[in-house]
A and B are shown apart, each in its own frame.
Chain A
Amino acid sequence: MNVLRVLGGIVVHGIERLGRGTMFLYEVVAGSWVLVPRFYLVIQQVFAVGVLTLLIILVSGLFVGLVLGLQGYNTLIKFGAEDSLGLLVALSLVRELGPVVTALLFAGRAGSALTAEIGLMKATEQLAGMEMMAVNPLTRVIAPRFIAGVIAMPLLAAMFSAIGVMGGQMVGVGLLGVDSGAFWSQMQNGVDFHEDILNGVVKSFVFGIVISGIAVFEGYDAVPTSEGVASATNRTVVYSSLAVLGLDFIMTALMFGGI
């Protein structure tokens, strides 16, 4: 009976937080029109969450591309199909690895930073101070960060995929001797703009909404203590990562079928 009560409490608490988070995001999005004449606030945050995340994205993308090139070559050569390496690398990156790995890295780097920053602003009464100055922190602090995350995520995923393809080309063409013309032409013929690239962009856009939403909500809802901010940051990374992996499966099934 006690276990049931605890389980029930957890479920009710989870639903309550989900509802509160949804209402919070609605308020953020509904109030974000005030940022139209002050778009520089969003640009500043695109720098903070996007440009400052670029290094880890590019380095990771390069290594993922290098590994894909190597593994792909060793598999394809068994069937004499090593000329299709470019197509394999590009499809893997554009459809799956680009959006998903970028989202996981984005949650760890930018999402956690967003939560910690907003949580600390709450703990040091900066958000309360803003409210007392008749400035709504949802539109002044939260909305620019949320929108910046949604903008930055697809751009980072595109750069991850691009540098990953370069990595695959470096290994495949540069080191393992795959024909350069075959590598690029197979890729050009096999990758469809709508089917592959656009669906990848849609995925990364959805991941951007989910990660940024979780990050700003957890920061705003954090208990204003050092322990509370640490827990909130932790929750952001865990919830975002799980949400990304779960949503990826659902979107892949919807976009590419097969189920």
Chain B
Amino acid sequence: MAPIIVPKLTNKKAGNRRVSSTAVPSNSDSLVAIRDVTFKYGARTILDNLSLDIARGKVTAIMGGSGCGKTTLLNLIGGRIKPSRGQVLVDGLSVPDLSKKELFALRKRMALLFQTGALFTDLSVFENVAFPIREHTKLPEPLLRHVVLMKLNTVGLRGARDLMPSELSGGMARRVALARAIVMEPMMIMYDEPFTGLDPISKGVIAKQIRELNDALGITSIVVSHDVVETCLISDYAYLMGDGRIIGQGTPAEVQQSKSEYVRQFMDGRAEGPVPYTYPATDYLDDLLGGGAR
């Protein structure tokens, strides 16, 4: 794999501006602090009085089954949605209370890697990675080219610079999105299901790159995934979510050894357990023999 070379970029607008009016004291070891957060979508409770901390400079895994609220949590941290109740603090700033301008200033210091990659389909690989630099800096073209090629080289795709997103495999698209995520050198990267739909080689490469980038750039990483093996391999700390709550936490080894029924059901991939697998329904026999409405 290509060595990780980190070119330093200075953001002309973002800097490390703190918004004093909305700054809230938090544990200095925690970059993200979630305090008693409840999030409801209509009548459905997605997150239920959830609290957790994301340590600075570490890779923190958030694992859990589909629909347990993992992506909702990332959206709360990124300020895309607001909690019904509770506090979401990022670097001491209360995210739901930020103005649009302040939120954009904070977002310049964080990155979210979407499950789909979310590459711009009308731009080439090079232009996709260059996009945030063009939008937020006035870097001269030769320097911009160097930065983009270095980031693409970091994810092993320097040779694919002229390809369009439609010409990339799923794994390659995810790696281009990773290059784009690190191009502005954020303080934190959130990965939403980075391993979904990838072959074992791509999974391993992406996992290794997440770990190496975290250490080389000195950033904080949040990996949301239901891929237990890959996620435990690269993370320093892990939270296990179920039913919108934290059902287990600790180092990956501790979580894997946990005796909790919730944790065991997820780790062992069992349908039976405290977390319901089947959606609530009427009696099966009645349903089949009832002959009523569909």
Do A and B come from the same complex? yes
Report A's interface with B, CB cutoff 8 A.
121, 124-126, 128-129, 131-136, 140
Bound Cα distance from A131 to B75, whole angstroms = 12
Per a CB cutoff under 8 Å, which of A125, A136, A140 touches B114? A125
- Given that A131-B80, A132-B78, A134-B105 are known contacts, is A140 also in contact with B118, CB under 8 Å in the complex? no
Interfacial chain A residues near B110, Cβ < 8 Å:
132
| Nearest-neighbor residue (CB-CB) of A141 within chain B | B120
- Residue in A124, A129, A135, A140 whose Cβ sees the most chain B Cβ within 10 Å: A129
Least CB distance from B101 to A in Å reads: 10
Contact B118 A128 (CB under 8 A): yes
Q: Contact flags (1/0) for B245-258 with A, using CB distance below 8 Å?
A: 00000000000000
How many residues of chain B get a CB closer than 8 Å to chain A's CBs?
A: 21
Contact A136 B120 (CB under 8 A): no
Contact A129 B114 (CB under 8 A): yes
Per a CB cutoff under 8 Å, which of B80, B105, B116, B131 touches A133? B131
- Given that A133-B132, A134-B107 are known contacts, is A126 also in contact with B80, CB under 8 Å in the complex? no
Which B116-136 residues have a C-beta within 8 angstroms of A? 116, 118-121, 131-132, 135-136
Indicate whether B208 reaches chain A with its CB closer than 8 angstroms.
no
Bound Cα distance from A140 to B135, whole angstroms = 9
Interfacial chain B residues near A121, Cβ < 8 Å:
121
Bound Cα distance from A128 to B121, whole angstroms = 14
Contact B107 A132 (CB under 8 A): yes
Report B's interface with A, CB cutoff 8 A.
14, 78, 80, 104-105, 107-108, 110-112, 114, 116, 118-121, 131-132, 135-136, 184
Contact B80 A134 (CB under 8 A): no
Which 3 pairs from chain A and chain B are nearest by CB? A129-B118, A134-B107, A125-B118
A-B residue pairs in contact (CB < 8 Å), sample of 11: A124-B116, A124-B118, A128-B80, A128-B114, A129-B119, A132-B78, A132-B111, A133-B132, A133-B135, A134-B14, A134-B136
Interfacial chain A residues near B78, Cβ < 8 Å:
132
